[in-house]
C-alpha cells in the first residue's frame, strides 16, 4: 500500500495511507526496527546472519532529522546521530505500525 502523506510529529512518524487509514509510530520503535544490513543483519548464501554488534543507542539516536522518498515504494530516514542507511519500504512500515 502506498503512503499519501508522511509527517514527523513530535516523537512519532505519522502516516496517511492510500486507503484513508492513519498510523502513528513512535520514533524509537522505528529506529530500533531499522532494516539496514548493519542493524538488522544480512544473510550470506549459507543463511549465516551478519550484522554490527548491538550497541546502546543514545537519546539523540531517536531524533528524526529528515526523510526523503525512495522511488514510489520506500522512505529513507536520517537520524540526528548520523545514521541514515535504513530504507523503510512502505509495506515494512505498515507491518511495523500493526505491531
pLDDT per residue of the chain (99 residues) written in tens, 0 to 9: 899 999 999 999 999 999 999 999 999 999 999 999 888 888 888 888 887 788 889 999 999 999 999 999 999 999 999 999 999 999 999 999 998
Nearest to 41, CA basis, from 89, 86, 75, 94: 86
pTM: 0.87
Cα distances (angstroms) measured from residue 82 to each of 47, 57, 63 = 30, 12, 10
- Per-residue pLDDT, 52: 79
Q: What is the CATH number of the domain that holds 8?
A: 3.30.2020.30
Total of domains in the chain: 1
Q: Supply the range of the domain harboring residue 72.
A: 3-98
- Per-residue pLDDT, 42: 85
Amino acid at each position: 500500500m502506498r503512503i499519501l502523506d508522511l509527517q514527523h510529529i513530535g516523537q512519532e512518524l505519522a502516516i496517511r495511507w492510500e486507503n484513508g487509514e492513519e498510523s502513528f509510530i513512535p520514533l524509537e520503535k522505528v529506529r530500533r526496527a531499522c532494516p539496514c544490513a548493519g542493524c538488522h543483519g544480512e544473510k550470506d548464501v549459507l543463511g549465516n546472519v551478519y550484522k554490527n554488534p548491538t550497541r546502546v543507542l543514545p537519546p539523540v539516536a531517536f531524533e528524526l532529522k529528515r526523510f526523503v522518498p525512495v522511488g514510489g515504494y520506500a522512505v529513507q530516514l536520517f537520524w540526528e546521530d548520523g545514521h541514515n542507511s535504513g530504507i523503510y519500504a512502505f509495506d515494512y512500515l505498515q507491518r511495523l505500525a500493526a505491531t
